[in-house]
């Protein structure tokens, strides 16, 4: 790029990407010194309101320090200029880490996973969304007809993601009306979460330029199909190979993997407060929606909070390199850095306890699973669980936890009293 602007951005607690643009002519200075930012920006909710009771007020200054490794170029078209987008860390004026930075929260969790357990995590965020506007039809789910009707959006999206280095794997028409899914190749922890942030913005931007509107809302209507973000993750020795596979263990999960999973299950209610945090999220997380119907670990069961994903034997593929877990109670109203960060923190707690999670086989019936605990029934219940789980509170710097609770409760106040269909639509309008 020789002319135009670059945009330096963070993803905030409400999963909104916000930041500042700078001229390309000042790119070297921007990369070296960042752009200005304000602590109170962390307290903005998804509806654009500054949450009351936040701890920042009108004072204080920060820097958004762009990470050159995250740069992606959005090409120009006939009406919209191109730009370069950078993801940034929120820092002090001297470049020191700021406790309220969500990206810093994930980085600290990954550092602790490496130092305490000698492990690294690789992940991929599988996104579902709906396209509104443009030509619509009653094409069947998963059909070639629906995929073709969405053109040129689908091909343009895959090309855009490939050009940006996000490594798309599949693009498919999903079950719900106008619903699609895009998957990316797994990547190391921080890069995987960065890719999730960037993917959403690339989808929204391209949809607008192709005459559509994309919504990642967890459930646009209470009677409709919801949009999830399934987080696929595997553990590896730091600098080495996979550690999750044990052919003779239940679910073929190693002791390390089963203990990590046990931590996620133990702190599930607090984790869900972060991974499915909008006023509409819990409407999707109910049994028989294939989202997550209960707090349990199971082989290949799409009602499980944690699913042991299948491995394939085609072409003599190595199961040890494939085996991974899928966390199913997340959606795109959540900040990807926080999502992966709390999964790592909960998993670390499980590793410290050393007790393996129970694995329910694929053959388990609904009656077998009836005694497993349910997910939080409401956002209020999930936030209360986060606030009262002493271990989970300790995962967060005080500034980050207080602001997260304040922001999410302000969103609940914003939609208080609305019928469920209006509440869902209001969330869909901003996500």
Give the span between the Cα atoms of 127 and 125, in whole angstroms: 6
Give residue 136's pLDDT.
61
- Return the SS3 of 37: strand
Residue 59 is encoded by which pair of tokens? 């004072």
CB 305 within 8 A of CB 242: no
Is 89 part of a structural domain of the chain?
no
Is 116 part of a structural domain of the chain?
yes
- Domain range enclosing 191: 105-397
Is 84 part of a structural domain of the chain?
no
CA angle 322, 323, 324 (to 5 degrees): 115
Is 188 part of a structural domain of the chain?
yes
Ranges of the chain with pLDDT below 70 = 1-2, 134-137, 291
**Residue 191 sits in a domain of what CATH number?**
3.30.590.10
Give residue 268's pLDDT.
97
386-413 confidence digits (pLDDT tens) = 999 999 999 999 999 999 999 999 999 9
Specify the pTM: 0.96
Chain centre to alpha carbon of residue 417:
28
DSSP 8-state assignment for residue 332: T
CA angle 129, 133, 134 (to 5 degrees): 115
CB 280 within 8 A of CB 303: no
Give residue 161's pLDDT.
97
CA angle 296, 298, 301 (to 5 degrees): 105
Give residue 37's pLDDT.
96
Place of tokens 């670059």: 6
Is 2 part of a structural domain of the chain?
no
Give residue 288's pLDDT.
73
Distances (CA, A) of 96 to 93, 113, 280: 7, 22, 36
For residue 403, give every residue at least 6 positions away whose Cβ sits within 8 Å of its Cβ, in sequence order, or none: 13, 42, 43, 51, 54, 55, 56, 100
DSSP 8-state assignment for residue 44: B
Q: Where are the alpha helices (DSSP H) in 138-239?
A: 144-149, 153-163, 189-209
Length of the chain: 431
36-90 confidence digits (pLDDT tens) = 999 999 999 999 999 988 889 888 999 999 999 999 999 998 888 999 999 999 9
Residue 213 is encoded by which pair of tokens? 């509107």
> What are the backbone dihedrals phi and psi of residue 236, each rounded to the nearest 5 degrees, phi first?
-135, 155
Give residue 286's pLDDT.
79
| Residue 212: closest CA among 151, 167, 158 | 151
Cis-peptide into 157, omega within 30 deg: no
Is 215 part of a structural domain of the chain?
yes
Place of tokens 């999830």: 228
Give residue 301's pLDDT.
86
Is 21 part of a structural domain of the chain?
no
> How many domains does the chain fold into?
1
What is the C-alpha end-to-end distance of the chain, expressed in Å?
Answer: 30
CB 166 within 8 A of CB 157: no
Give the span between the Cα atoms of 150 and 391, in whole angstroms: 46
Is 135 part of a structural domain of the chain?
yes
Give residue 137's pLDDT.
64
Chain centre to alpha carbon of residue 76:
28
């Amino acid at each position: 790029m020789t002319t135009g602007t670059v945009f330096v951005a963070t993803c905030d607690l409400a999963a909104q990407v916000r930041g500042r643009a700078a001229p390309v002519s000042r790119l070297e200075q921007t990369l070296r010194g960042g752009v200005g930012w304000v602590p109170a920006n962390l307290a903005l909710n998804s509806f654009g309101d500054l949450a009351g009771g936040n701890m920042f007020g009108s004072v204080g200054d920060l820097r958004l320090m762009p990470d050159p490794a995250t740069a992606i170029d959005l090409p120009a078209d006939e009406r919209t200029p191109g730009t370069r987008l950078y993801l940034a860390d929120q820092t002090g004026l001297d470049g020191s880490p700021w406790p309220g930075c969500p990206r810093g929260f994930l980085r600290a969790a990954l550092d602790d996973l490496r130092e305490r357990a000698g492990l690294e995590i690789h992940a991929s965020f599988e996104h579902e969304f709906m396209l509104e506007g443009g030509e619509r039809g009653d094409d069947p789910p998963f059909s070639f007809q629906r995929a073709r009707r969405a053109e040129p959006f689908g091909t343009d999206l895959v090309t855009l993601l490939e050009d940006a280095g996000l490594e798309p794997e599949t693009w498919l028409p999903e079950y719900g009306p106008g619903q699609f899914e895009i998957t990316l190749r797994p990547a190391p922890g921080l890069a995987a979460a960065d890719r999730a942030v960037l993917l959403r913005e690339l989808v929204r931007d391209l949809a607008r330029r192709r005459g559509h509107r994309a919504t990642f809302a967890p459930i646009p209507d209470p009677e409709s199909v919801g949009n999830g973000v399934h987080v696929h993750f595997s553990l590896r020795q730091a600098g080495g190979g996979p550690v999750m596979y044990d052919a003779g263990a239940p679910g073929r999960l190693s002791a390390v993997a089963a203990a990590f999973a046990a931590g996620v299950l133990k702190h599930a209610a607090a984790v869900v407060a972060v991974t499915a945090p909008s006023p509409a999220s819990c409407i999707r997380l109910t049994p028989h929606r294939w989202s997550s119907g209960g707090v349990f670990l199971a082989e290949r069961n799409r009602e499980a909070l944690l699913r042991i994903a299948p491995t394939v034997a085609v072409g003599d593929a190595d199961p040890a390199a494939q085996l991974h877990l899928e966390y199913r109670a997340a959606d795109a109203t959540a900040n990807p850095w926080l999502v992966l960060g709390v999964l790592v923190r909960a998993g670390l707690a499980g590793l410290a306890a050393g007790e393996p999670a129970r694995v329910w086989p694929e053959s388990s019936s609904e009656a077998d699973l009836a005694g497993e605990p349910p997910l939080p029934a409401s956002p209020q219940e999930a936030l209360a669980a986060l606030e009262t789980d002493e271990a989970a509170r300790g995962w967060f710097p005080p500034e980050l936890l207080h602001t997260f609770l304040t922001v999410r409760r302000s969103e609940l106040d914003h939609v208080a009293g609305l019928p469920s269909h209006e509440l869902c639509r209001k969330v869909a309008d901003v996500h």
